[in-house]
């Protein structure tokens, strides 16, 4: 039995161990054969030499991640403690800042599949990003659109969603048309408000540089010189999906995001996203990126919830 004291330097140990020592609990769960005692900037490790060495490597990964991204969530720790934790930290393009947002926030692709989404969008004009809730599909897509606008690669951003939600009906919501539609568009506003100062965002929306509208409003338009995002595409019908895809102008960039496990369409209507995946997956010039539970960056419970539902569906 070996014993080693490891000094945590260059970072507040609270940032590494997490609120209420949540990250430390994950370390203890991973290294069950070790006894870990954290005191201030020192952590005492008791166990076999090989286990201590393995623990120290993982601890250094956590510290390196914090230095790189200035944050270390339990979801990050969970990924870093996997066998490919070093790959998770050192994936190509991990340092690329997409947008410098409000309050100094650095918006980056934070997972391997998010980085694949960035690379695919850079290479192709039409990209599908498919995966469960919390994987950063919409947020990454909006960041790419804002980057393109700031770099003057496009003249406008167009964000759209089907106005379909779980069992709700626009006609029963209070207010005028804008007030009825705004709740459906709120996730898009939320992402934009992280990345663009409020006054400038208001100006962009008022002047039409940024347009946020339900999918039905895209009919008859040609979307050119624009970065266009169709969000929640699993709730687009087949005819709506065809209509949207054929709006693409010569100098447009399209990203379509969706979660095929959360389709809210009436049972007699088929999802346009599911149809598009089947029809277009081998078409040259179109890329498909699939995100999964390892990309979830919300509360750690979201990953467990999705896994539970997926397991039940498999049964």
- In this prediction, residue 142 carries a pLDDT of 96
- Tell me the average pLDDT across 257-269: 92
SS3 assignment for 102-169: HHHCEEECCCHHHHHHHHHHHHCCEEEEECCCCCCHHHHHHHHHHHHHHCCCCCEEEEEECCCCCCCC
Specify whether 227 is located in the same domain as 131: yes
Distance of alpha carbon 200 from alpha carbon 104, whole angstroms: 16
Q: What is the pLDDT of residues 221-232, one digit of tens each?
A: 999 999 999 999
Give the per-residue pLDDT at 93: 46
Q: Which domain holds residue 24?
A: 2-89
pLDDT value of residue 257:
97
Distance of CA 260 to the CA centre of its chain: 16
* Judgement on whether residues 125 and 84 belong to the same structural domain of the protein: no
Do 119 and 197 share a domain, yes or no?
yes
**Per-residue H/E/C for 189-244:** HHHHHHHCCHHHHHHHHHHCCEEEEEHHHHCCCCECCEEEEECCHHHCEHHHHHHH
Predicted confidence band of residue 166 (pLDDT cuts 50, 70, 90) = very low
Token couple for 154: 């496009």
Q: Cβ(142)–Cβ(188) under 8 Å?
A: yes
With a pLDDT cut of 70, the percent of the chain lying above it is 90
Question: Are 223 and 103 part of one and the same domain?
Answer: yes
Confidence of residue 44 (pLDDT cuts 50, 70, 90): very high
Residues 273 and 216 in one domain: yes
Residues 287 and 146 in one domain: yes
The CB density around residue 97, as the number of other CB atoms within 10 Å, is 13
- Higher pLDDT residue, 182 or 1? 1
pLDDT of 34 higher than 90? yes
> Tell me, what CATH number does 253's domain have?
3.40.50.300
Shared-domain flag, residues 51 and 141: no
**What's the mean pLDDT in 125-147?**
94
Assign 277 a pLDDT band (cuts: 50, 70, 90).
very high
Task: Pick the last residue of a domain from 71, 89, 107.
Answer: 89
């Amino acid at each position: 039995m070996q014993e080693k004291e490891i000094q945590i330097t260059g970072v507040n140990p609270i940032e590494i161990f997490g609120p209420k020592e949540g990250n430390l609990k994950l370390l203890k769960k991973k290294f069950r054969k070790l006894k870990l005692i954290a005191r201030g900037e020192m952590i005492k490790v008791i166990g076999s030499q090989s286990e201590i060495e393995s623990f120290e490597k993982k601890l250094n990964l956590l510290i390196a991640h914090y230095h790189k991204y200035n944050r270390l969530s339990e979801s990050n720790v969970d990924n870093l403690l996997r066998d490919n934790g070093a790959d998770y930290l050192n994936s190509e393009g991990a340092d690329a800042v997409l947008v410098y947002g409000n309050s100094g926030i650095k918006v980056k692709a934070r997972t391997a599949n998010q980085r694949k989404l960035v690379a695919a969008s850079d290479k192709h004009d039409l990209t599908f990003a498919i995966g469960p809730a919390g994987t950063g599909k919409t947020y990454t897509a909006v960041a790419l659109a804002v980057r393109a606008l700031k770099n003057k690669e496009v003249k406008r951003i167009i964000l759209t969603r089907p106005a379909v939600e779980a069992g709700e009906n626009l006609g029963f919501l209070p207010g005028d048309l804008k007030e009825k539609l705004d709740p459906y568009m709120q996730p898009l506003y939320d992402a934009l408000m992280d990345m663009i100062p409020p006054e400038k965002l208001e100006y962009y929306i008022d002047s039409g540089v940024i347009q946020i509208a339900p999918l039905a409003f895209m009919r008859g338009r040609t979307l050119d010189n624009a970065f266009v995002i169709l969000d929640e595409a699993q709730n687009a019908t087949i005819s709506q999906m065809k209509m949207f895809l054929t709006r693409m102008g010569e100098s447009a960039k399209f990203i379509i995001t969706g979660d095929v496990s959360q389709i809210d369409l009436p049972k007699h209507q088929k999802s346009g996203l599911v149809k598009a995946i089947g029809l277009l997956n081998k078409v040259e010039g179109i890329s498909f990126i699939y995100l999964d539970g390892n990309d979830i960056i919300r509360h750690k419970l979201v990953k467990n919830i999705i896994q539970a539902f997926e397991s039940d569906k498999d049964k």
